[in-house]
């Protein structure tokens, strides 16, 4: 549980930075990215030590969640600030994902 809180805390800090730089559209894009990342990690974490087919199914599910989140960002707030904030929040969280899945 503490790993999820740490991931959420880092994500909230990134959303705050995006809000300062890009305003309300950046908050929308960053919040969607944070939600997608938390959902994807929650999908993958229970099967980390499972056989490869189960792991890959959940991994692909997480990638699908992120893709749907990107589509939602582009539909809900089609501004450059929202898209950049989505990437600015999601990419650092993706790089940190392996630390949260241990």
CA separation for the pair 39, 17 (Å, rounded): 22
Overall residue count recorded for the chain in this entry: 102
CA separation for the pair 88, 28 (Å, rounded): 12
Query: Is the Cα torsion angle 33, 88, 67, 97 positive or negative in sign?
Result: negative
Confidence band (pLDDT; 50, 70, 90) for 1? Answer: low
Number of alpha carbons in the 13 Å side-chain half-sphere of residue 84: 12
Confidence band (pLDDT; 50, 70, 90) for 28? Answer: very high
> Where in the chain are the domains?
2-100
SS (H, E, C) 63-101: HHHHHHHHHHHHHHCCCHHHHHHHHHHHHHHHHHHHHHC
Confidence band (pLDDT; 50, 70, 90) for 96? Answer: confident
Contact 14, 30 (CB under 8 A): yes
Residue-wise pLDDT tens digits, 57-90? 999 999 999 999 999 999 988 889 999 999 999 9
């Amino acid at each position: 549980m503490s790993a999820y809180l740490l991931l959420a805390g880092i994500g909230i800090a990134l959303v705050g930075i995006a809000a300062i730089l890009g305003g309300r559209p950046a908050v929308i894009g960053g919040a969607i990215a944070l939600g997608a990342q938390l959902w994807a990690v929650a999908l993958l974490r229970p099967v980390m030590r499972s056989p490869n087919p189960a792991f890959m199914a959940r991994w692909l599910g997480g990638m699908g969640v992120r893709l749907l989140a990107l589509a939602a960002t582009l539909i809900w707030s089609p501004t450059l600030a929202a898209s950049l904030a989505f990437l600015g929040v999601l990419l650092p969280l993706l790089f940190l994902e392996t630390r949260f899945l241990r």
